[in-house]
Structures are given as C-alpha cells and as structure tokens.
Structure 1
Amino acid sequence: MKYFKLPDLGEGLPEAEIVEWHIKEGDEVKIDQILVSVETAKAIVEVPSPQDGVIAHLFGAAGDTIHTGEPLIEYISEEDDDTGTVVGEIPDAEGNEAGDDFIIGAAPSTRAHQSARATPAVRALARRLNVDLNGLQGNGRNGAITPEDVEQAASMNKVHGHAEPLRGVRKQMAKTMALAHAEVVPVTLCEDVDIHNWPSGTDVTMRLVNAIAAGCKAEPAINTWFDGASLSRRQHSKIHLGVAVDTDQGLFVPVLRDIGQRSTEELRKGLDKMRADVKARTIPPKELQGATITLSNFGTIAGRYASPVVVPPQVAILGAGVIRDQAVAVDGEVVVRRVLPLSLTFDHRAATGGEAARFMREIIRVLEQDFSEESTG
C-alpha cells in the first residue's frame, strides 16, 4: 500500500476542503488523471494522480478539510519503492505504517491531541446525538470533551439548529479580519468629491484606480508595508492595487500590478479578466498576493461611508460609496451636484494624519478634473 498526501498547493496554503471526488475506491487510475477537486482559501484546484495504480481508499468526503501532508488517497500499487514526500508510507510515532486512525481536519502535529480530547464513550454519545466534536470546547481535564459538553451542544442544536462551519474563502476571510483587528490601529478619514463634470458613462473604477496611483505618487508613505513586530516599514516604488470583489463564496481581492505605469485600457482589461477568473474560481493564488494598497468600491451595491478594514502588511484601503445627487454650496448658492463619497482607513502606526490627508487631497484633485476626452466604459 502507498499513500498520496495532500501536496503543497502553492503560496504556503496549509489546508484545503474536499469539493468533489472524481474517482472512487476500486478505480484504476493513470498518472496525471484528475483525482479530486479541492477548495483552498484562494481557488478551486484539481489534484492529479502522481502515479498509475488502483484506488484502495479515499480519506475524507466532500466538505472535509485536510491539511498539507495529510493522507488523501491510498493506492494498491505494484511499485514498492518510496517516491518521495508526496507518495509514500506514513509511519506512526513508533515507526509502524499508519492506519486510518488520524482525524481529517486536524493538523498533523495535533492529531494525537485531538484524538485524546474525547473518550470512546464521549465520541459514541456525540454520534448518537449528532454532535460534531470538531471545534467543540472541552471543559474537562486538560481540555477534554465531557458528556455534559456534548449534551449542551446537542441542546443548542435542537433549539437553534446546527451551526454551519465557515469553509474555504469565508473561513480565510474570518481569520484575516481577526488578524487585522488584532494588529492594526485604524483611523478613517472621509470626504466627498464633486464629480458633476464627469462625462456620461465614465468608468468610475478606472478613475478611482488612476486617482489612487496619483495619490501614492504624491504621498509614498501610504504605498507601504508595515511590520508591527519589528516596527519597520517598507515603501514600494511600484503600486500594486488590491481590488475587492464580492462573490457568493466570500471576498476575493485580486491584485492589479504596477497601476502607475499602465494605461487605463490595459488596466481595465486586466481587471475584467481577474474578475472573470474569480467568479469561475480559476484565478491563480499568486494573483491574490502582494497588494500594497486596496480599493473597495462598495458603492456599486450600497452605502455612503464606511470604515474599511486594513489587512496587514498594507497600511491603507480606500472605500468608494454610492454616487448620488446632493445639495451643496457653490459660490454662495445651493445647487445640486453629483457627489462621490470616499472613506480612507489607514494604520496610524505607519502613517501620520497629515500623510493620509495629503493622499486624500491628491485623490480628490485628480477625481475632480474634467477629463471630457476620457474613454468611457
């Protein structure tokens, strides 16, 4: 018997969720044949077979989470030699070949701990009461799960229904937001932009992209990564803009590279392609990495102002609200103008209020220009 472990799927992603098996136990497979589709925090990935063989056992079902290096498939194979870190026998702590007693969803270093957290009697009670022990807080000795813990969870499920665990993108989003909340010292600056003179059909997103590029050039401190542990910052010469994309699966932030050196037409084509790839879940993980500043154009849905969340190591995110007609004072008279509300959140550990205000001032200046000859879309 040989085992195929979940390989490193790139960008250091530690786990994946099984979406769909494309084979079943007993099937004969060929090398590079697609075995399973898994969902990481970034994309859906098809995992190919590393060898020819017959499938003896599948570890996990659709919806299960497995970690890099955990068993995925067991082969019946004529090959006896170990082929490396991906396909090979999995020894237990005493050097014997491991069986099926690991727990899908537990990190390799914590499987023994997870197994010890509940006695066989408690696990049997959990099965009878349809309680998922994963994530259940144990109140027994050394964090062990007690019968009372299981019964309390069963009672909660009966009254309020079963809790739905976050998976895939939403799970990663929750972790990222918690990290941002713990690390960043956020301040939000809001302002309105008079865009009444914009031509009909103006590409709002591209106007914002170009304005952010101008703002970063005027105030480089905003186009920065900050390391809170070492209290150091790294200013970037290129501007890589993360653009928040809302989907049913959760929030994706693909990255438009080097926005200060590319034409509006090129940037629009690049953004359209990334959005299509996000919706199809085919965007490469590397295209979701490396942003130096982020744009959230939430106003395409609803909302005037917000306090967007800065995700470390970035130090700033610009939010654009709903464009609306608004009564404003112009030359001593009240007139109705088209107004775009902006919300800039910045990490006050890395940027001063003056730097943030100068960045915002330059964005407003660029947005309020009347580019009547601008291409629209």
Structure 2
Amino acid sequence: MKTFTLPDLGEGLPDAVVREWHVSEGDTIAAHESLVTVETAKALVEVPAPWGGRVEKLFAAQDQTVNVGEPLVGFAAEDANHEIPATEHSTTTISPGDSVSAEDPSVKETAPPQTRSDSGTVVGKLEQGEAVLGAEQRVAPSRRRPATPKVRALARRLGVDLEKLSTDGSLVTAAQVHAAVGSTPVTEKSAEEKKSPPPVQGVEKTAGVEAVMSPARRAMGLSMSRARDQVAQITLCDDADISSWWGSTPALLRLIRAVQLACTAEPTLNALYENDQLKIQETVNIGLAVDSPRGLYVPVLRDVAGHTDEALLAQVADYKHQARETGIAQSDLQGATILLSNFGAIAGRYATPVVLPPTVAIVGAGRVCQGVVVIDRWPAMRPLLPLSISADHRAVTGGELARFLRAMLHALST
C-alpha cells in the first residue's frame, strides 16, 4: 500500500481539519482528481490526488485534525508492471519490478526505501524531467466534483441537487444554484449522506481540542501577532446621527456604502502597505469581520461599487452561513483593501480595531444608542452610531484619517 500524507498547504500551520471526503474506500480515482477538502488557516482547500489508483484506506474521519506529514490516504500497491513517472529532480533508476511512488515529500512507501533526492514537488502537480520512465497506468474515470466547496455549501443550504445541474460535466455556479431553487429539492440530510463516506473505524476525534484551537483561531492569533509587530496604530472615534434612515435601512448596508464613499473622498485609506510602499487601490474591496464559534473570519466583498444593495446583502448572508457551517473558501478570504467590523451588532460602543497588514485601515461600528444632539440650538434625542476607525500611522497621516472619518459621518447622517 502506498501512503499519501497531508502536505504543507502553504498556510503556515502544522495541521488541517478534514471537512469533506470526495472518495470512499474502494473507489478508483484518476491523478489530480479532488481527494478531500480540508480547512486550514480559515480557508477550505481541495487536495488533489498525486496519482491515480484504487483508494484502499482513509486514515482520517470527517472533522478530524491531521498533522502535516501524517497519513491521509492509502492507495493499493501498484501492479508489478506499472511504472511511475520520475520527477524533475529525481536521478534514481527504477526497474519495472520496483514498487515506488512519485517523488513527492508527502508520499511514503511500504517497500524498502531507495536513495533519492527530495524533489520538493508541490502537492497535486507531478513534474516530469528528462528521464521519463513510463506512463501512468490508466485507471477507470472517477466522478468529478460538480462544484467548488463554496457552491456545494450553498446548494446544501438551499436544498439543490448539484448532480442534476451538472449533466455535461461543467462546474455549477452560484447563480445556477439560486435559479434552481424549488425545482430540484433534496433534503440536507440526504445530500450529506451521499457525499460523506462511512466513518473510519478506530479513529478518535479530538473534539475538545478542536473547539478551543481550531485552524481559524490559530490563524487569528498569527494575524494579531503580525499586526502587533508591524503596525503603528492610531484610532479616531465619533458618533454619527442616523435619525434620517434608522429603522428603514439595514445598518450594515449603510455602513458598507459609507465606507465606499469615504474611500472615494480619502483614497489613501483604501490601500495596501507592502515593502515600505503605499499602493492605493482602484476598487473598494471590503473585508468583513464575521464572528463564528470556530473563530474570526474576514471574507471579502469585492468591488462594492459595482454591486447592487440586494447582491451585497445576499453575499453577506452567504458568508455568515459558511462561517457557521462549512468554513469559507480561501479565495474569498483574500484581496481586501479595507476592513469593516460591525461589533455593535453584539455589544459595545467604542473600540480600538486592529489593522491587519497589508491593509492600512479598519472601520469599527458600535452599538446604536440614543444620545443628545444640538438641533437649531436646542437639545434633541437622536439615534447615534459610534464609529471607531484605526489606521496604520506608517502610511496614513492623522489628517487623512480625520477626513475619512468626516466623510463617513456625512454619508451616515444623510
């Protein structure tokens, strides 16, 4: 049996959590087909098979934590006449009778080890050098996953059968799932039973440890440590009179639009600070802090100016569901140009939100409360929205931060 171990997925964490198996024991899978979805550093990552063959053993159960380098999948031993392509840096001569695997640092063998150099091959990509020793054995075609993890989570929530939407083998999009609501309903339970193989026997789940130090929490710790060591933070606070719209428009939507307008008025805060260079961004991509039992997620609302209010609210709802139930895809956690934390939806009025490099600013919105303001020289009670805006003082001046805050106050008060 050839053993494929969990590779380093480049997230800087020593382990990952198995979230969804795409194969069962006994299945035959082709090289580079999706093997398993794992969660690491808050992101969902699909791990492809390094080669084709029959799956003999799954070493981890769903929701189990696996360390990098530990066994993940066992493949049936290769046929005696089967030959494996050599990798770019391999110099070992292999005879047809040898039972070996591709040159991948995450591959282990039950046969006696042979002397070779480490190829450093990236998981899922087998690079062939000049000394090609043979073609990989043809395997029976396996079922391709019909959608990305994000779309599969959406389909489970809406009760849509993805198999009926992917008859031609193409990937199903989120728009197709929304369009199919009500036409192909399936229960969430049946969908989960179809996709998940039987539990692996003899594997204990580390539920207690997982609840305390999930990948999301550890990634949050690394981000906070980086912010502490790199950012020179400055914070300004003020209250916005929101009596003109309070109770008629979702507060989060107004906040998103206010951040968008303030970035137009003071673009220096919609920027990235990397290698001692301030790079102002053309589009406003808001990283939205989302609370979940597993830790803090910051998915990105891309190009908010180019989306309708309805589309933004739908995207926010989808991210919140993914944070609670499935985790958020890695691509949706990247590309933020400014951050927004609506902590007041839970509690608290003012804060010192932490700037996460390479972004240079974060907007914090507190709990709305009644306060006294002066209207035409007379006191009046009005709903007030507290704002706390932090910026990286290495890249942003106090005047730029104050002008940004003034623009947000104006956008929220009209």
In the superposition, the TM-score normalised over structure 2's length comes to 0.64
Alpha-carbon separation, structure 2, partners of 1:63 and 1:302:
33
State the alpha-carbon separation in 1 of the partners of residues 20 and 404 from structure 2: 50
User: What residue in structure 1 maps to residue 243 of structure 2?
Assistant: 196
Match of 2:42 in 1: 42
User: How has the CA–CA distance of structure 1 residues 272 and 76 changed in structure 2, closer, same or farther, with 3 Å as cutoff?
Assistant: same
Distance 1:367 1:286 in 2: 31
Where does residue 73 of structure 1 map in the other structure? 73
1:187 equivalenced with 2:234 (yes/no)? yes
The one-letter code of the counterpart of 2:330 is: P
Choose the corresponding residue for 1:220, options 251, 258, 267: 267
Judged with a 3 Å threshold, the aligned counterparts in structure 2 of structure 1 residues 359 and 249 are, in CA distance, closer, same or farther, namely same
Q: How far apart in 1 are the matches of 2:354 and 2:106? A: 43
- 2:54 corresponds in structure 1 to 53
Deviation of 1:231 after TM superposition, in Å, equals 1.4
- In 2, distance between residues paired with 1:173 and 1:200? 34
Q: Tell me how far apart the structure 2 counterparts of residues 71 and 269 of structure 1 sit (CA, whole Å).
A: 39
The aligned residue for residue 296 of structure 1 is 341
Q: Does 1:325 align with 2:323?
A: no
How far the C-alpha of 1:327 sits from its partner, in A, is 2.1
Per the TM alignment, residue 264 of structure 1 is displaced from its structure 2 partner at its CA by 1.9
- Distance in 2 (CA, whole Å) between partners of 1:242 and 1:274 is 11
* Residue identity matched to 2:53: D
The answer to which of 69-78 and 244-253 deviates more is 69-78
Is the CA contact 1:31–1:48 (under 8 Å) kept in the aligned structure 2?
A: no
Deviations 1:308-349 (A, max 9, x none): 110000000000000011123333322211100000000000
Change (3 A) 1:191 1:75: same
Q: Quick one: which amino acid aligns to residue 73 of structure 2?
A: I
Using the TM superposition, name which of 292-301 and 261-270 deviates more: 261-270
Query: What is the aligned-residue RMSD (CA, Å)?
Result: 3.5
The separation in 1 between residues aligned to 2:315 and 2:20, in whole angstroms, is 33
Is 1:166 equivalent to 2:213 in the alignment? Answer: yes
Distance 1:178 1:88 in 2: 29
Cα 1:35–1:330 shift into 2, 3 Å: same
Give a deviation string over 1:288-323, Cα, whole Å, max 9, x none. 101000100000000000001100000000000000
Counterpart position of 1:17:
16
From 377, 381, 385, give the equivalent of 1:340: 385
Instruction: Indicate if the aligned counterparts of 1:82 and 1:89 stay in contact, CA closer than 8 A.
Output: no
CA distance in 1, matches of 2:240, 2:302: 26
- Aligned residue in 1 for 2:354: 309
Contact 1:4–1:71 (8 Å) recurs in 2: yes
Change (3 A) 1:28 1:345: same
Partner amino acid, structure 1, of 2:310: E
Alpha-carbon distance in structure 2 between the residues aligned to 1:162 and 1:291 = 31
Q: Does 1:256 align with 2:301?
A: yes
Q: Do the aligned partners of residues 88 and 78 (structure 1) sit closer, same or farther apart at CA in structure 2, a change above 3 Å counting?
A: farther
- Which residue identity lines up with residue 16 of structure 2 in the other structure? E
Distance 1:163 1:85, change over 3 A: closer
Partners of 1:298 and 1:194 in 2: how far apart?
18
Deviates more, 1:307-316 or 1:34-43: 34-43
Q: Which amino acid aligns with 2:255?
A: L
- Structure 1 residue 70 displacement after superposition: 5.9
Q: List alignment gaps of at least 5 residues for structure 1.
A: 99-160, 370-377
Take 1:185 and 1:306, find their aligned partners in 2: how far apart are those partners?
16
Structure 2: how far apart are the matches of 1:60 and 1:276? 23
Aligned twin of 1:152:
none
Q: CA deviation at 1:284?
A: 1.9
CA distance in structure 1 between the aligned counterparts of 2:22 and 2:288, rounded to whole angstroms: 37
1:267 and 1:81, CA in 2 relative to 1: closer, same or farther beyond 3 A? same
Count of residues in correspondence between the two structures:
301
Taking the TM superposition and a 5 Å limit, the aligned residue runs for 1:236-275 are 236-275=281-320
